[in-house]
Every structure is written in structure tokens, then in C-alpha cells.
Amino acid sequence: MKTIAILFALSMLLSSCYSYTSVVGEGAKGNSQITKWNHYVVYGLAPVGVSDSKQMANGAENYTVHTRQSFVNGLVSGLTFGLYTPTTTTVTK
């Protein structure tokens, strides 16, 4: 039983973060960034509050959207045992 508990703890510590990037138009031309958290519950299955990248771009036609689960997001998710699973979205114009 002790071995199973240790293996479970290690598997939780070794889980990776994910990220994906979307390029709109020709992509970011500058380095102006806006960052917001997205809020999900039940291991990310149910969105509660998700940021709108188009609104975050504030009318820009060329921008880059980077969505990821950062270390802090993963830590919060781990502390809540996956009941609350945030991600971070950054829009670069």
C-alpha cells in the first residue's frame, strides 16, 4: 500500500503542463501583452469563466494567443484535487 501511495504521489508531481499558441492574422507585431486566467471545474471539464481573446486584443487584427497551464495553475489544481482547474491566456499584440 505504501508503494502505491508513493507511485501515485510521484505521478502527480511528474505530470506535465500543456500549452498551445494560435496566430491571428500575421501574428503579434509588438510586445504588448494582456494576461487573464480561465476558470474550469471538475478537472477542466466544465468552464465557469473563460477569457475572450478577441476582446483581449481590443480590436487588433494581428495578434498571438498563448494558452497554457502554468506551474501556479497546476499547483492550484493540485491543491483543490482537480475540482478547480485554471489555465492562463496571454494575448500579445
Q: Which pLDDT tens digit goes with each residue over 9-68?
A: 777 766 666 789 999 999 999 999 999 999 999 988 999 999 999 999 999 999 999 999
Per residue in 23-33, pLDDT (tens digit) is 999 999 999 99
Report the domain count for the chain. Answer: 1
Task: Give the C-alpha separation, 16 to 18, whole Å.
Answer: 6
Contact status, residue 47 vs residue 39, Cβ threshold 8 Å: yes
Does any domain span residue 59? yes
Does any domain span residue 73? yes
What's the whole-model pTM score?
0.77
Range of the domain at 41: 17-92
Does any domain span residue 5? no
Task: Give the C-alpha separation, 55 to 62, whole Å.
Answer: 13
Does any domain span residue 2? no
List the one residue out of 66, 57, 59 whose CA is nearest residue 93: 57
